[in-house]
Amino acid sequence: MVVVPSKMGQLNKRALLARLQRLGAASRADLAKSLGLSQPTAGKIADDLLRLGVIEEFEADAPPAGDADSVPRLGRPGRTLRLNRSSPRFIGIQLGVRETGLCALPVGVDQEDRWTLQFSTPDSADAWVRQLKGAAKDLPAKGLWGVLVSVPGIVDEAAGRVLFSPNLHWTESANLPALVETVWKTPVLLVQEERALALGHQYLEPECDDFLLVDFGDGVGGAVIIAGRLSGSPLPISGELGHTPVIGNERLCGCGASGCLETLASTGGLLASFAAAHPRSPVSWAALESSVRSSGIEPWLARTLDATAAGIAGALNVIGLRHVVLTGSLPDLSPLVVRYLSDAITRGALWARFGQIEVEAAPRRRTAGLVAAGIDRLVLPMTGKAPATVG
């Protein structure tokens, strides 16, 4: 395939940006050596990214913003490059079932999510927009490249539509991008929430090239990263582990079916099971955590974890992966839960007969995933469309 110059330029910018993400900070000379490019070529690419505002220079002798100890001291003083942490370029929105979070995001995003503004998610599109307009007064309005919205459910990201949301049905009939554009006059991207989490983990852990991320919260969902990229599918649906039926489970799910895994392994499902097993105990997340600390993995929890592990192991066997990243309420419950899940997943994963299965708990990094999507689709797109006006 012949690569046209414009596409080659985008590829080179993406390659340099990815390498800088891995290094944390570097000089032009170090980037040229690392990428196998001549210094003039690497310097030109870096200058283009500087003009765009994607990266910035900082004084190597001065402590950079964020965690200074994590940034290598490379290059001449005053000529060291890093992802731009100084200027907010995006508005990030987490549209959650219970809460909506907002924050201004630079390219050099924090390691963990920090939503600076939050409000209870209402039950209608009109009420949600009114809340957004109120929150927008406390967020930047100039110099933005786009608004990035994490959305639950089955999402057609290309069309900007929510096709089905079992826990937030009003989004199915709402034109979310158009609604957001009434608040911020800038491009709006929808990103399915689990896909945002997987992108964020890969963005901040660039050595993690192949993994299945499974998140537990109001629902249970997953996303797959292969060779450092989100795995696609012909349909706008993937990673719906939470709607795997569990034999013997008769709880009604928001999707309209009975017996879905998320009615057991979601935050609400865990609390319901805890309440049934401890009818005389107060029902709260703190009480559940205390119970696990004092009593370990009780039979009701073991059954839920076994069902969860079976679904994850089945996904690993089908996709052909060996690395699982767990985020959200279930792994946060206790290290005992993570160890139990890891052992159960390993027992069900075929690759464990030949090699090692890796299961780890990680923080949610949705804001980083939104930034990764914004760079990919707005700032350095490979679709032939003109990039967003930046600077």
**Mean pLDDT in consecutive groups of 10 residues from the start of the chain, 391 residues:** 58 90 90 91 92 87 48 54 93 96 94 93 96 94 94 94 93 96 96 96 92 96 94 85 95 94 97 96 95 96 98 96 97 97 98 96 96 94 58 46
Whole-number pLDDT of residue 158: 92
> Which distant-in-sequence residues (6+ apart) come within 8 Å of 236 by Cβ?
154, 155, 156, 157, 158, 163
Specify the pairing of strand 117-120 against strand 55-58: unpaired
Same fold across 5-83 and 206-361: no
The domains of the chain are located at 5-83, 90-197+366-379, 206-361
Sign, CA torsion 186/231/372/267:
positive
pTM > 0.75: yes
Strands of 188-192's sheet, edge to edge? 117-120, 99-105, 90-95, 146-151, 188-192
Is it true that domain 5-83 has CATH number 1.10.10.10?
yes
Q: What CATH fold (topology level) applies to the domain 90-197+366-379?
A: Nucleotidyltransferase; domain 5 (3.30.420)
Supply the DSSP string of 298-313, one letter for each residue.
-HHHHHHHHHHHHHHH
Helix boundaries (H) for 58-192: 125-136, 176-181
> Token pair of 279, please?
């009818």
Q: Pairing between strand 99-105 and 90-95?
A: antiparallel
Q: Write out the two tokens for 346.
A: 């390993």
Q: For 206-361, which CATH superfamily applies?
A: ATPase, nucleotide binding domain (3.30.420.40)
| Model pLDDT, residue 385 | 53
Query: What does the block give as tokens for 239?
Result: 């990673």
